[in-house]
Structure 1
Amino acid sequence: MKEKEENSTKKEIEKRSVNWVLVLFYLYLHILGIAGMYFLFTKAKWITVFYLLFLVTMSSIALTAGVHRLYAHSTFAATSQLKLFIMLAHTLAGVGPIQDYVFWHRMHHLYYGTERDPYNHQKGFFYSHFISNILSTPSDIKEYGRDIDMRDVEADGYVWTQRKFYWILFIVFGLLLPINVPMEYWGESLVNSFLIIGATRLMITTNISWLVNSALLVWGLERGAKYPVDDNSVFFLSKSYWLNYHYQLPWDWKNDEFGTYERGFNTFIIKMWRELGLINEMKTTTSNEVRDALCKVAMSEMTLEEAKDELKRNAEAAAYKEKLMFHH
């Protein structure tokens, strides 16, 4: 019976054929984006360079600290003003609606490491980072996503607005306005603006969005690997087990997307939001609580899933208590 179910699963997965429209789109985007990088270093004005960095930074914050930690994993609660910023900055990134990203990312966590995982790390970095993003939607998508609870995201007004008017918002706010600004305010050429602020920017933000799903294969350590690492990657990559931890407790706000814990640029941004009063109910746990949970599992008092559920309930209670104390 089990073998029959596995064969059925593989059969459904095989129906995810290559979407050649997406292949052509990403091919042209990367060709134009690479050309834009050449123009960036040889012909663009310095203010255009800083403008590109600003736009990419805003988009990156929305993709990681915003959509990934806030919407996909509910690691904290945010004010309406911050949600508006995240929605607009995410639209600027040009990677599709927030709701779609959250759906597929939650699918990734639910079916992690199985044939149902849309970004299956078992198939290597190239599949996880690129191939998985050019495949068609599974033929049994309704059954495929039946266990994904999207009620919190679907009830969010900003997410609904973005999804309803995505292409209008993207074309105007995410494409035409950013490209027009350099030409209008500091006399940048149309070619430079289109290639750099259009193609190169979207190429970078697209890959940042993909990296959130494939980051474990870059910054993560394989099971049994030595830590700290003893190869040359230590000089340019912060390899650790924290990304493995993220797949066990994805609701911990301190876990960075790219290999660190309670450090990194995006975590710093979240801390800033907290100081500005833009977020609350920040869920996390401690080493002692994790150790106690693992002890209960080792003593057969509960399963690993039950232990993780208990950790989450305790984290939610502590986060809400902290919120009440802050308001008091």
Structure 2
Amino acid sequence: MDQTVKKRDVNWITVLWYIHLHALGLYGLVLLFLEAKWLTLFFVIFIVFLAGLGLTLGAHRLWAHQSYQASFIVRLFLVLAHTVAGVGSIYDWVLAHRLHHRYYGTDKDPYNHKKGFIYSHLVSNVLTPRPDQEILAKTIDMRDVDSDGLIWIQRRLYWPLFVIVGLLLPINAPAEYWDESIKNSVFILGFARLAITLNLSWLVNSAMHIWGMNPGDKYPADDNTVFILHKSYQMNYHYLLPWDSKSGEFGGYDSGCTTFVLKIWEILGLVSGLKTASSEDVRSVLGKMATSKMTLQQALDEMERLAELETKKAKLRYHHG
């Protein structure tokens, strides 16, 4: 532990906001199941799914890890979807997530998993930044994100965009188009929906505790079939090869709704260059490690280089096919 750096303090204003958001959101869920119309329920599911795509396929896989390339229309859609989630700008989200991967498992990790699920999911999000936050941020290469004009616009106009796209439009729709009550619209599409998307965002950084396994744990895990808690080493894999586009945020690999959407977009030609690690590449790199002095980090870098080479070859085959 770095003893020269002071501990992060609790931001009590943030704590009070989250307490009120979750309390009012819980009341909104009660209204959703007891009073709201069926169309409102379906609309909430749609909005949460939309925000989830902005968080997972957008902020996480596209911008934080550059695991694929997207057309302008997809990037615009994902920027708006992420704005609906109401978790701050994509730039800030990506910077925090890259810090999380860069300093994973250390005190410099904003969501240090070694301190447990409650810390990584909740406590870390109500603490003030580290005193050396600006110094740490300079160690993260954000030039790729800086060069994206859509991210630049969202970052500078975030609050007006969030008020319009993330609050007014979702809250107004039920009352305007199917005569839902104003009270239900505000508490369900406002507080309850924001509480859900906020926790989805937090889960991207704390999911290891729910779906991940510790080194040496039994595989398959004894609780492998308990509802959605499909524990595996996939989460460990993600922290080794974060650029693999098939890595799901919540325990799956090459499966799940978000990955399915990504595959559909690829078929439609809206995205390209989906990076992944093939079995041949793994064998090749393991062979080099066994016969040379290649370090683990060099091996991981080689895996990414091979993945990028495969995506380029695939694009060439597609264009000449």
Contact 2:224 2:231 (C-alpha < 8 Å) held by counterparts: no
How much has 1:299 moved relative to structure 2? 4.0
Residue equivalent to 2:174: 182
What amino acid is the match of 2:5?
E
Residue equivalent to 2:281: 289
Residue equivalent to 1:278: 270
How much has 1:21 moved relative to structure 2? 1.2
How much has 1:142 moved relative to structure 2? 2.0
Matched, 1:50 2:45: no
- CA offsets 1:189-213 (integer angstroms, 9 cap, x no match): 1110000000110000000000000
Contact 1:13 1:115 (C-alpha < 8 Å) held by counterparts: no
Distance in structure 1 (CA, Å) of the matches to 2:270 and 2:69: 9
Distance in structure 2 (CA, Å) of the matches to 1:246 and 1:234: 22
Aligned with residue 186 of structure 2, among 194, 199, 219: 194
Residue equivalent to 1:267: 259
What amino acid is the match of 2:155?
R
Contact 2:223 2:230 (C-alpha < 8 Å) held by counterparts: no
What amino acid is the match of 2:26?
I
Matches within 5 A, 1:100-249: 100-231=92-223, 234-249=226-241
Give the fraction of aligned pairs with identical amino acids, expressed as a percent. 53
What amino acid is the match of 2:209?
L
Contact 1:74 1:251 (C-alpha < 8 Å) held by counterparts: yes
Q: TM-score, normalised by structure 1?
A: 0.95
Provide structure 1 residue ranges, at least 5 long, that are not aligned to the other structure. Answer: 1-5
Aligned with residue 12 of structure 1, among 5, 25, 39: 5
What amino acid is the match of 1:255?
S
- CA offsets 1:273-305 (integer angstroms, 9 cap, x no match): 101111111111112322332343344430000
- CA offsets 1:55-97 (integer angstroms, 9 cap, x no match): 0000001101121000000000000000000000100010000
Distance in structure 2 (CA, Å) of the matches to 1:243 and 1:60: 19
How much has 1:233 moved relative to structure 2? 5.6
How much has 1:224 moved relative to structure 2? 0.5
Distance in structure 2 (CA, Å) of the matches to 1:167 and 1:26: 18
Q: Give SS of 2:5's match.
A: helix
Number of residues of Structure 1 aligned to a counterpart in Structure 2: 320
Q: Which segments of structure 1 move beyond 4 Å, counting only runs of 4 or more?
A: none
Q: Give SS of 1:12's match.
A: coil
Provide structure 2 residue ranges, at least 5 long, that are not aligned to the other structure. Answer: none
Distance in structure 2 (CA, Å) of the matches to 1:55 and 1:173: 11
Distance in structure 2 (CA, Å) of the matches to 1:23 and 1:113: 24
Distance in structure 2 (CA, Å) of the matches to 1:177 and 1:61: 18
How much has 1:173 moved relative to structure 2? 1.1
Distance in structure 2 (CA, Å) of the matches to 1:310 and 1:122: 28
Residue equivalent to 2:300: 308
Distance in structure 2 (CA, Å) of the matches to 1:242 and 1:191: 42
Distance in structure 2 (CA, Å) of the matches to 1:20 and 1:287: 49
Matches within 5 A, 1:30-109: 30-109=22-101
How much has 1:13 moved relative to structure 2? 5.0
Distance in structure 1 (CA, Å) of the matches to 2:251 and 2:291: 31
Contact 2:243 2:275 (C-alpha < 8 Å) held by counterparts: yes
Q: TM-score, normalised by structure 2?
A: 0.97
Greater Cα offset, 79-88 or 259-268: 259-268
Shift of the 185–256 alpha-carbon distance from structure 1 to 2, 3 Å rule, reads same
Residue equivalent to 1:257: 249
Distance in structure 2 (CA, Å) of the matches to 1:66 and 1:236: 23
What amino acid is the match of 2:318?
F
Q: Give SS of 1:256's match.
A: coil
Q: Give SS of 1:325's match.
A: helix
Distance in structure 2 (CA, Å) of the matches to 1:69 and 1:10: 34
Residue equivalent to 1:3: none
